[in-house]
Amino acid sequence: MGVGVDWNRVLRWLERLQRQRERMERGPRPPKSSLPKCGARTRAGHPCGAPAYRRPGEYEPRNGRCRMHGGLSTGPRTAEGKARCRVAALRNLEKARSAVETEAVRGGEASAT
Ligand SMILES: [Zn+2]
């Protein structure tokens, strides 16, 4: 009776060692608190605290949102979709500008009285 060597087991062990070495070479992961937050407004009204989505193996977030708030999206693909996105962005910009202006007017009145 020979000594049976389970080569599948040996292979699995070698693969595990390899993975461990790769982890060591990549260095320690940055702490979770240092990762950028999603910040989208949730239905509860407060900013989302989930970390921004990063593709596996990447440190840089794709677009700064978490996986629930568009982090998986890579944006519009077709020319039509991109145009629509531009229009919406301009509209939001316009809204933000007018909000800032009314705020400034109100602030001026408050300090004058
Ligand atoms: Zn989020």
| Other CB atoms within 10 A of residue 45 CB | 6
- CA of 28: how far to CAs of 16, 35, 77, in Å? 18, 14, 36
Q: What's the pTM?
A: 0.44
- CA of 90: how far to CAs of 6, 22, 84, in Å? 65, 46, 10
CA of 69 to the centre of ligand 1 (A): 5
Are residues 68 and 50 in contact, defined by beta-carbon separation less than 8 angstroms?
A: yes
N-term to C-term CA, the chain: 101
CA of 93 to the centre of ligand 1 (A): 22
pLDDT tens digit sequence for 26-81? 777 667 677 788 899 999 999 999 888 888 877 778 888 998 998 888 888 899 99
More confident residue, 6 or 111: 6
Reported confidence tier of residue 109, pLDDT bands at 50, 70, 90: low
